[in-house]
Amino acid sequence: MRVAFQLLDCDYILPNGHPVIRIFGKTEDGKSVVCFHEGFLPYFYVLPKVKDKEISEFLKKEFNNLIVNVEEVKKFLPIGYNPEKVKLLKITLSDPSKVPKVKEKLLSSGLVKEAYEADILFRYRFMIDYGLFGSRWYEVEGIPVNTQNVKAKIKLTLKKIKEIEPKESKFRILTFDIEAASEGLPDPENTEIIIISLYFDPPYKKKRKLALVATKKINGDNILSFESEKEMLKEFLNIVDSYDPDIILGYNILRFDFPFLLKRLEKNKLPKTLGRCSTKPAVHKKFGQTERVNVPGRIVVDPYPILQEYNKKGMLRFKRFGLGDVAEQIIGEGKIDIPHSQIKEIWEKGSKEELRKLVDYAIKDSEITYKVFNTLKLIDTYLALSRVSGALLQDVLDGGEASRLEILLIREFDKHGFVVPLKPSDKEVMKRTEERSLKGLKGALVLDPVVGFHKNVIYLDFASMYPNIIIGYNICPTTILTKKYDVETIEAPNKVKFVSKKVREGIFPKILRQLIESRNKVKKKLKKEKNEKVKQALNAEQLALKILANAFYGYTGYLRARLYLLDIANAITASGRFLISKTKTIVETKTNYKVVYGDTDSVMIKADTEDIEKLFKIGEELAELINSELGVVKMKIESVFKTLLILSKKRYAGLSLEKSDTGYKEKIVMKGIETVRRDWCTLTEETLEKILEIILKEEKPEKALLYIRDVIQKLQNNEIPIDKLVIYKSISRPLHLYKGVQPHIELVKKLKKRGVANIPGIGDRVGYVIIQGPQMVSKRAEDPEYVKQNNLKIDSQYYLESQILPPLERVFEALGYKRQDILNLGKQLSLSSIVNNGKAKKVIGFDGFVCSYCNETYETITLSGRCIKCNGPIYFYKGKEKVKEILWSN
């Protein structure tokens, strides 16, 4: 028979001492497939120190029936340029799980110098050797198999397999969430699961939502109720089995729901076979601090770590990563409001209505988790990464950048006759760490910024700088010169030499050329494409190609990489530093423009016109000039900043204009200035955003100061809505275990004394505001609702100094103020405005701005920083004391 499917998972079993590979997939019409392949055996390579015969005899003696074959092969060694292949021994054995043992024994025997590829997972050994990639589409020819061990609609042997055109994925997605009733975080050892909520896409028996509840007390439309946890779990297993999902989805299931569920199954003596195999159970493993869940034949997806990755890469920003917060932000729909501390109470003695609400709460969690996943198309990029790198979807989701790249590297190294080194041992990692602290790994160059306010700034950057450096200098473990050869070489700025491309093109550069080339092709297709779904897929693909290309540099400097080489990592950054500083020199010696800032692969150049067209034109000319002098990497104009406020290295905000098909796209760009931070109240975020907008868009810093004054006045007059002042923190342990005094903890203690119902418990988030009073700040934390009801005064001083000012400080510092100045200014301005009814008096001895020539006074600083009447310099006076000369850049 013949069947076409998308490759989802691959593993192996050892039925009678012989490994059998299993490929799991999904057809275009939604049928699950498993292919079996027998006869493929594990192998690895060693570099002999003694005669081959001695090694084979040693192996026969030690491992007799395990060794299938020992043969001589010729391969290139992976590190250091060497024109000749080297003779290695390829050792084939019958059991993949025994490979580490054999490798260890050989290494410690002293008979071999080195072992290669002895730690490549068997499934990947197979996939690489058969040219199979994760998530790609294949057509398989084989004979139907009848086995009860795996559950799939189609089961067959693998006779022939060939890659085919990709089609649309047809996944069944099961979202689940468990509830448990306990004080504080539930411990699976002795806390039962009370509810399992489920959300199906596509629907299951015409239902999308379903809750399994371990009590007969309630029932309803979307509810299945059970006598006990055990009965409920049994049904859950049934449903997973008959729904047969490809993807199991849930929020934080990796670190909570899955391990919890597996533990409860164990406690109830139920099978843990949630996967497509009746012999291999689902497993949860913890090593170090990372946790992983494996369900044979299915993909486990947890949006939580994915969103964290998105946040880190700046694709999305979250203040908090709680499901409620995330859902609110993405789909505008949050959780049902039940404090965690109330679940136990409701479960034990709640009314029918309360129980129903708890069940709805559980269902809602699954529902919004799915909706977030679906809205953001969370696996699209990962599917693309899987297709491009060849790694399995699950591994792409679980692993870091390095693991994704490694599969691709092994494939290419193998293809070109190179072997790949083992992963470093702990000892080796330590050695690398030491070497690094000794020699150092210097990062990118950040040019000294001209701090302050600028106008008409051109932003240029090098396209894919590090990948192009690797290509340009032919940087690769296989081209680095570690011994003397009389061949043409290229020297990186850190004096490390690589053989030139004519001698041997490196594998890194070769892969990178292909990745960049494919990306350009995909981007071209994307531009022409009209179909929204196809566009999404193409966009995911170009993103994946970019991610992989950008991962090379990090990989070479990653301590646990197979192909870690400090000299290479340093060669790449040294080249980057060289290029960016050379760029600055070119601009500043060959033109009259000044570079006001630059970081890693970009420069900001101040120009002398307000004309946007012209600015872009100048940018193009500058790029051309730089390119003609540098060669290796191409500089291009990215955007123009109408206005730009540079605070320090890595921190700036600007009003950026980008060219688009329809004209110019204007937007405020912020780097390193987070307006969203978990420890700031909403007022802080809003004020900071507003201030930056006024400065950048209206170019009226004095108005920004007025705005701050306004906020301060409103604070003092109790005119700011309490909700904007709420600060959130969560309780992490029992109250008595807190050593220091913390506001949210003090508040909870207060609430207890007050005898309030629904006291927040461990894990609950507590929102508080700081009110006026004589005690220390922490003791003055108060419940926002209580403040509203009793009309209490908030501590405006606290909010000013601890919430509003710190972020504004940096902004105004760039404009010439120190923290104390702003603070005084804010106070004084408001004071003098009140006293003088908004008009400052023209006498020395008041707080405000005074022209040093004509004594004209200003309540706020002028835009130019100079007197409007006589253009004289303006000074800030505090009382009779001249505090500071005010100067604006530009």
Binding site for DNA (CB under 7 A): 12, 42-44, 96-97, 99-100, 103, 117-123, 125, 177-186, 251-252, 255-256, 283, 285, 287-290, 292, 294, 304, 312, 320-324, 340-341, 343, 365, 395, 398-400, 403, 423, 426, 560, 679, 730, 732-733, 740, 761-764
Q: How far is the CB of 621 from DNA (least distance, A)?
A: 38
Q: What type of residue sits at position 250?
A: G
CA 709 from centre of chain: 38
Give 267 or 423: the residue with its C-beta nearer to DNA. 423
Cβ proximity to DNA: between 236 and 459 the closer is 236
Cβ 729 to DNA, closest distance in Å? 8
How many contiguous H segments (helices) and E segments (strands) does the chain have? 25, 33
Q: What is the C-alpha separation between 729 and 770, in angstroms, rounded?
A: 13
**Least distance between DNA and beta carbon 663 (Å):** 37
Across 682-797, the runs of DSSP E, i.e. the strands, are 727-730, 765-770, 781-782
What's the min distance (Å) between Cβ of 888 and DNA?
29
Complex with DNA: residue 305 or 872, whichever CB lies closer: 305
- Closest to DNA by CB, 75 or 606: 75
Q: What's the gap between Cα 653 and its chain centre? A: 23
CA pair distance 455, 695, nearest whole angstrom: 11
Closest separation in Å from C-beta 566 to DNA: 18
CA distance 28 to 44: 37
Cβ atoms of 149 and 11 within 8 Å: the answer is: no
In Å, what is the CA distance from 580 to each residue of 312, 475, 590, 604? Answer: 25, 19, 15, 11
Instruction: Provide the pairing of β-strand 299-301 with 247-249.
Output: parallel
For the chain, first and last CA: distance in Å?
Answer: 76
Nearer to DNA by Cβ, of 162 and 733: the residue is 733
Q: How near is the Cβ of 54 to DNA at its closest, in Å? A: 22
Give min distance, CB of 765 to DNA, in A: 8
- Looking at the Cβ atoms of 310 and 664, the one nearer to DNA is 310
d(CA 873, CA 866): 5
Closest CA to 140 of 37, 13, 245, 30: 37
Going by DSSP bridges, is the β-strand pair 848-851/765-770 parallel, antiparallel, or unpaired?
Answer: unpaired
**Nearer to DNA among residue 420 and residue 587 (C-beta):** 420
Q: Which is nearer to DNA, 396 or 596 (CB)?
A: 396
Nearest approach in angstroms of CB 309 to DNA is: 9
Q: Which helix (H) or strand (E) holds 404?
A: helix 401-415
Q: Beta-carbon neighbour count of residue 746 at 10 Å?
A: 21
CB 468 within 8 A of CB 633: yes
User: C-beta of 312: minimal distance to DNA in Å?
Assistant: 6
Q: Distance (Å, rounded) from C-alpha 67 to C-alpha 75?
A: 21
Q: What is the DSSP string of 842-857?
A: SSBTBSEEEETTT--E
- Residues 344 and 182: beta-carbon distance below 8 Å: yes
Of 127 and 579, nearer to DNA (C-beta) is: 127
Q: Which is nearer to DNA, 256 or 849 (CB)?
A: 256
Q: Buried b / exposed e across 681-719, counting CB within 10 Å, b at 16+?
A: bbbbbebbbbbbebbbeeeebbebbbbbbebbbebbeee
CB of 98 to DNA, least distance (A): 7
CA nearest neighbour of 654 among 861, 449, 860, 862: 449
Give least dist CB 349 to DNA, A.
16
What is the Cβ-side half-sphere exposure of residue 370, based on CA atoms within 13 angstroms? Answer: 23
- Least distance to DNA from the beta carbon of 764, Å? 5
Q: How far is the CB of 283 from DNA (least distance, A)?
A: 7
Q: In the block, which residue shows the tokens 């000044």?
A: 594
Pairing of strands 173-180, 247-249: parallel
Question: The tokens of 99 are what?
Answer: 């490979």
Nearest to 447 by CA among 577, 347, 570, 549: 577
459's CB contacts (< 8 A; 6+ apart) are 602, 603, 604, 619, 637, 638, 639, 640, 641, 656
Minimum separation from the CB atom of position 570 to DNA (A): 18
> In whole angstroms, how close is the CB of 209 to DNA at the nearest point?
15
Considering the complex, what minimum distance in angstroms separates the CB of residue 403 from DNA?
5
When the beta carbons of 8 and 861 are compared against DNA, the nearer one is 8
CB 696 within 8 A of CB 655: yes
Q: Cβ 176 to DNA, closest distance in Å?
A: 10
**35 or 300: CB nearest DNA:** 300
Q: 369 vs 479, which CB is nearer to DNA? A: 369
Collapsed DSSP state (helix, strand, coil) of residue 23: strand
**Count of CB atoms situated within 10 Å of the CB of 466:** 25
30 backbone φψ class: left, alpha, beta (φ>0; ψ -120 to 50): left
Distance of closest approach, residue 550 Cβ to DNA, in angstroms: 14
Q: Are 728 and 678 in contact (CB under 8 A)?
A: yes
Q: Which is nearer to DNA, 564 or 876 (CB)?
A: 564
| Residue closer to DNA (CB basis): 164 or 185 | 185
**Residue 312 or 736 having the CB closest to DNA:** 312
> Nearer Cβ to DNA, position 551 or 605?
551
Scanning the structure block, which residue is given the tokens 């950057």? Answer: 461
Q: Which CB sits closer to DNA, 334 or 493? A: 334
Other C-beta atoms within 10 Å of 417: how many?
Answer: 11
**H-type helices in 607-669, by residue range?**
612-630
